[in-house]
Chains A and B, each alone.
Chain A
Amino acid sequence: MMENKDRDYSNEDITVHWKPGKCIHVTTCYKELIEVFNPRNRPWINMKGAPTKRIIEVVKKCPTAALTYSWNDKSKQEELKEKEKKTKKTEVKIMRDGPIVVMGDFEITGPQGQTYNKMKMSSFCRCGSSDNMPFCDGTHRKVNFSD
């Protein structure tokens, strides 16, 4: 689903999709490639800052999938989707001093037995202080949760 704060950035090969609602500021993108991902600049993504291959590498490292990419060329994009389908296992990532980030196909049951709509990505609280259990709401920063 495209929300109105979402943005697309293209070069001649690929389009990088940015979903700010998913970002939990792990800072991987700009630590790896400030030439492209610079939060101080507007627009903050400069697709001319690095070769396509390097941009893809860094986009793939985004733990929350706030950054994703697609090929502008349709047949290349379909190829990529097929490949992903075949190789993807659900990934459960422990973020240092932060939440558990789960990506892929999964079902969630809450502490009171609640069920949730299927999501492709969720962050679960690990610090014990979230006001939105079982999900992360960023409180780990306030309470200085550390591993």
Chain B
Amino acid sequence: MAINETIKIKAIENGPLQVSGDINLIGIDGNKIETNGDVFLCRCGQSNNKPFCDGSHKKKGFKD
């Protein structure tokens, strides 16, 4: 994907944040996290694989 293509951020209802496009993803320690394609970031606070979604929102009944 070209660098100047607009990044799309979608909050999936009752689910994660989907980020599409070529981004710099920076983790809590300030280091860059390599990404490949769309990333799905946890929005429910319950993932065991933060910052990424691991599907926990379903188990925990996360609602927007």
Majority SS at the chain B contact face: loop
- Interface presence of B10 (CB below 8 A): yes
B32 closest partner in A (C-beta): A91
- Choice from B24, B46, B50 contacting A92 with Cβ under 8 Å: B24
- Interface presence of B36 (CB below 8 A): no
Question: How many interface residues does A have (CB within 8 Å)?
Answer: 31
Known: A89-B22, A95-B28, A126-B51. A111 touches B46 (CB 8 A): no
A92–B8 contact, CB under 8 A?
A: no
B12–A94 contact, CB under 8 A?
A: no
Question: How many interface residues does B have (CB within 8 Å)?
Answer: 32
- Interface presence of A69 (CB below 8 A): no
- Choice from A94, A126, A134 contacting B26 with Cβ under 8 Å: A94
A109–B51 contact, CB under 8 A?
A: no
0 or 1 for each of B14-27: is its CB under 8 Å from A? (1 = yes): 10010101111111
- Choice from A90, A105, A129 contacting B24 with Cβ under 8 Å: A90
0 or 1 for each of A104-122: is its CB under 8 Å from B? (1 = yes): 1111111110000000001
A127–B45 contact, CB under 8 A?
A: yes
Residues of B close to A100: CB separation below 8 A: 17, 41, 51
In the complex, what distance in Å separates the CA atom of A93 from the CA atom of B28?
8
Beyond the given A106-B8, A111-B64, A143-B45, please list 13 additional residue pairs across the A-B interface where CB-CB is below 8 A.
A90-B23, A91-B23, A92-B24, A100-B41, A106-B6, A107-B7, A108-B9, A108-B10, A109-B8, A109-B10, A110-B11, A129-B45, A134-B17
Report which A residues bind B (CB closer than 8 A).
89-96, 100, 102, 104-112, 122, 124-129, 133-134, 143, 145, 147
